[in-house]
């Protein structure tokens, strides 16, 4: 079993322009690549878990998703960051699937397909759906990014951070389980 940091995509790694899928909308958020490199250098594997209801809504197809996502992966690879896999849910919120966060299905796929030890893994995302998925899947902890004024939580392993760089710092502060 391996320790992972499971990453939401839109709003966590890239600017969320509302169902981003056109290369013209692509913008890697500041500090993402160095933060991911720090996590990887500390022994965490990396994977992406992303809701992509734009596919289910007909805003774009898998080919457009793949082209856009390949651009992200190439950017990260050029910075020395390896992403082991991407797990996506194409369903709409009302579809009642097991893979759309906050359901834990995408995280369970990471466990089953990658050997992710969820009890030793973290999830970083920009919404409460991400945090809930982490807890439902049994992750060690979760960090919500995009918080202007991070505050302490009643649960010491539910963290807040301004951005991915701060999230990485917070996770690394906990050390190995």
Q: Which residues are catalytic?
A: 8, 10
Q: What six digits make up the tokens of 162? A: 């301004």
DSSP result, 40-101: HHTT-EEEEEEE-HHHHTTSS-HHHHHHHHHHHHHHHHHTT-----EEEE---GGG--SSST
Dist. CA 131–CA 92, nearest whole Å: 19
DSSP result, 127-150: SHHHHHHHHHHT-SEEEEE--SS-
């Amino acid at each position: 079993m391996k320790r992972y940091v499971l990453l939401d995509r839109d709003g966590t790694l890239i600017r969320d322009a509302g169902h981003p899928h056109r290369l013209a909308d692509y913008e890697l958020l500041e500090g993402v690549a160095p933060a991911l490199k720090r996590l990887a250098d500390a022994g965490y594997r990396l994977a992406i878990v992303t809701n992509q209801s734009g596919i289910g809504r007909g805003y774009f197809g898998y080919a457009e998703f793949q082209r856009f996502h390949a651009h992200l992966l190439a950017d990260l690879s050029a910075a020395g960051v390896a992403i082991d896999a991407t797990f996506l849910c194409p369903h709409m919120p009302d579809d009642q699937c097991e893979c759309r966060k906050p359901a834990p299905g995408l995280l369970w796929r990471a466990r089953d397909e990658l050997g992710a030890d969820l009890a030793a893994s973290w999830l970083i995302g920009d919404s409460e759906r991400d945090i809930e998925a982490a807890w439902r899947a049994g992750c060690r902890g979760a960090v919500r990014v995009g918080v202007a004024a991070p505050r302490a939580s009643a649960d010491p392993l539910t963290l807040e951070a301004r951005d991915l760089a701060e999230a990485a710092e917070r996770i690394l502060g906990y050390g190995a389980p």
